[in-house]
Amino acid sequence: MDRGIWEAVLPPIVALCIAAVVGDLLILTFGEAPAAVFSLLVKGTWGNAYGIGQVLYKTTTLTCTGLAFAFAARAGLFNVGAEGQLAAGGFGAAVMGLLLPAGVPAVVAVPVCVAAAMLTGAGVGAVPGVLRARFGASEVIVTIMLNFIVLALLNWFVSAKLHVPETLHTPGIAAGTVPRLADAFAMFRGSAANFTLLFAVAAAVAAWWYLFHTRSGYELRAVGLQPDAAEYGGVRVPRVLLVTMALSGALAGLGGVNFVLGYKGYYEDGFAGGAGFLGIAVALVGRNHPIGILASALLFATLSQGGLAVNAIVPKQLTDILTAVVILAVATAVPEVQTQLRAAAARAANTLRGSRAEGVA
């Protein structure tokens, strides 16, 4: 396995093992058997088709918001605005779906609505990008403040201009909805999982290719490592910062498609539900690597859905604690494990070289 991919996948595995140990101790304090609780968690998530569907549905959104944060982080930017960009993307998809005539074929309507979501998210992401590139404004402060502005504007627009009476959501979308997984696989009937999952996986692969196999991606990573050196080497740093924030917003906006086009069929105020902020944790656990983010999003989605499954015998907040443990483990224990593995690999390589040298002699 490629070293970069291995180091991206390793943190979720190590963090999960640590969380399991802490979870055992917490479960014992409630007077329950850890084996019974974890068995119920697995059955409620990966033990039946409905649970799997719900995990995949949550994984889709978290993958998009995790990618959004990681993409910006690779350029040395801290995008805390995925919550607003996610909501804006969902709103853009809904408006485009309402504007399209009902008879437009799905092969045309879905890509158009997805493009609208990504463009809307990119527009919101570009604002802090411009302010950072042109005026040196802190993207942390700007994105945090922009979350409140975007969410408030969307709330006003929906409640005042585009809502169904006595609700806080838009009318149903006429064209551009994404099929549910249940439409192709009957076993997923009842779950919210839909084919937006494929868009999220494709986005992760595209982000990986862009970051590690293109000149633009190399420039982006160079700016993140040392902007002064990158500029000395001919990289237009302000342009990279602007493009990066716009692409980061586009990735977050794609996540809005999952709820609006794939699940509900309309935009609903507050649908993001903290997924934008949780994407930061997903990216950190996945080491800001697209492949690691896929694994990390799957882990967080499993814990989220598992909390509902185990709520019958232990508080749902147990999984929230485990989520925090995972994050802390990645921040503390995982770096030490990686250091030890690299040291072991170096020792093995030195031993191998020594053996070859003796053989030649």
Alpha-helical runs (H) found in the chain? 3-29, 34-45, 49-73, 82-99, 106-135, 139-161, 196-213, 215-225, 227-232, 237-259, 275-285, 290-310, 317-360
pLDDT value of residue 23: 86
pLDDT value of residue 56: 97
pLDDT value of residue 21: 87
Distance CA 191, CA 193 (A): 6
Tens-digit pLDDT profile for residues 344-359: 666 666 766 666 656 5
Mean predicted confidence (pLDDT) in 115-140: 96
Give the per-residue SS3 of 226-285.
CHHHHHHCCCCHHHHHHHHHHHHHHHHHHHHHHHHHHHHCCCECCCCCCHHHHHHHHHHH
Average pLDDT along the chain: 89
The angle at the Cα of 359, spanning 353 to 361, to the nearest 5 degrees, equals: 105
Quick check: helix, strand or coil at residue 154? helix
Tens-digit pLDDT profile for residues 275-330: 999 999 999 888 899 998 998 999 899 999 998 888 888 888 888 888 888 777 77
Closest-CA residue to 126 (of 253, 15, 217, 262): 253
| Residue 103 pLDDT class (50, 70, 90 cuts) | confident
| Residue 273 pLDDT class (50, 70, 90 cuts) | confident
Q: Which residues contact 235 (CB under 8 A, 6 or more apart)?
A: 219, 222, 223
Q: Percent of the chain scored above 90 by pLDDT?
A: 64
pLDDT value of residue 20: 83
214 conformational bin, left if phi > 0, alpha if psi -120 to 50, beta if neither: beta
Cα dist. 302→56, 128, 256, 285, 306 in Å? 9, 33, 20, 14, 6
Quick check: helix, strand or coil at residue 99? helix
Residue 244 has pLDDT above 80, yes or no: yes
Phi and psi dihedrals of 49, rounded to 5? Answer: -65, -40
pLDDT value of residue 234: 93
Cα dist. 239→74, 137, 220 in Å? 15, 15, 10
Which of the 8 DSSP states describes residue 180?
B
Distance CA 264, CA 91 (A): 13
* 229 touches 222 (CB < 8 A): yes
Phi and psi dihedrals of 32, rounded to 5? Answer: -110, 160
Residue 26 has pLDDT above 80, yes or no: yes
Closest-CA residue to 8 (of 297, 202, 336, 285): 285
Tens-digit pLDDT profile for residues 193-233: 999 999 999 999 999 999 999 999 999 999 999 999 999 99
Residue 74 has pLDDT above 90, yes or no: yes
| Residue 89 pLDDT class (50, 70, 90 cuts) | very high
Residue predicted with more confidence, 9 or 88 = 88
pLDDT value of residue 102: 80
pLDDT value of residue 335: 60
Residue 337 has pLDDT above 90, yes or no: no
Which of the 8 DSSP states describes residue 288?
T
pLDDT value of residue 18: 82
Closest-CA residue to 85 (of 143, 6, 165): 143
| Ordered domains of the chain (ranges, CATH) | 3-345 (1.10.3470)
pLDDT value of residue 19: 81
Distance CA 35, CA 33 (A): 5
Distance CA 301, CA 272 (A): 14
Distance CA 175, CA 255 (A): 18
pTM above 0.85, yes or no: yes
